[in-house]
Amino acid sequence: MERRNFLKNAAISGIALTGITGAMNASASGTATSNAAKFKLKYAPGLGTFKENAGSDPIDNIKFIADQGFRAIFDNGLMGKSPEQQEKIAAELARQGMDLGPFVLYADFSVRSMVLNSEEVRDMLRKKMQDGIEVHKRTGVKYALVVPGRFDEKLHWDYQTANVIQNLRMCCDVIGDSGMKIVIEPLNAHTDHPGLFLTGMPQANLLCVAVNHPVCKIVNDIYHQQITEGNIIPNIDMCWDNIGAFHIGDNPGRKEPTTGEINYKNIFRHIYRKGYDGVLCCEHGNSKPGKEGELSWIQAYREVDSFEV
């Protein structure tokens, strides 16, 4: 290695080490770790991501997350919280000037549902959409996540596709101009969710085009799509008009960026340069345990957010 490159790399490493060591020391002393620098993109840790440093209270978690420079959170279990708790979360996010990422509205991986032409399924979906609208009214959350469920081995694939399109159109009609939107999520069948109908970004894009409703979008889970089809940046571009949100996780392992094979710094730079201002949910685990592991998790996001604009 040339001497100047060695010195440059050593300096960068020293800066990173100094930052995380300072954060760890602050945590060990019982004081909150303050970081005034806001991230370029709205990476959204989940409530409970930093339970070792922030405890279990959702409001304390939001305060800690904001103090680290994050501009959003997500909570897959938002719908299961009481209306009072939902309102408290929304109020604290508003006070902090933060966004709330998609919550899970319907995702039953065990049954065939939206692939069927069934009045029982439609009744269930109508009720889900109405319940989601109430959560939206209380919290202002923009997107609700929907998974079409399992495929039917006894029914031709094209009939199933037509049924999913019709069921999604009905969901969109129920939502109407309420202000809420749904994001459908393709999930990988190789590692995590075998047997599901929706698995790829091209398929999700086809559904959105066929549904042809402004409230039907896609959540692009980069972890799942690396497993399913790869080609991450070109697929983002091909589906761009229909992407409402992103999920993040490295592969293999589904941990924070920098722990696997995905070049998140380049992906985030691409998304940023396209003008994306939505939420990117950090839907993954921690590669290291304890308080130090949580702070290392934050440092990983500092690294991948350090792209040139």
Which residues form the catalytic set?
A: 185, 283
Q: What's the rounded Cα separation, in Å, for the pair 203 and 232?
A: 15
**C-alpha span between 286 and 294 (Å, rounded):** 7
Three-state DSSP class for 99? Answer: strand
- Provide the token pair at 147: 């998974």
Helical H runs in 45-118? Answer: 51-54, 58-67, 83-96
3-state DSSP assignment of residue 88: helix
**Percentages (nearest 5) of helix, strand, coil residues in the chain:** 50, 15, 40
Tell me which residue of 164, 150, 246 sits closest to 203, measured CA to CA. Answer: 164
Q: Using alpha carbons, list the distances in angstroms from residue 99 to 65, 88, 182.
A: 12, 14, 16
Helix, strand or coil for residue 276? coil
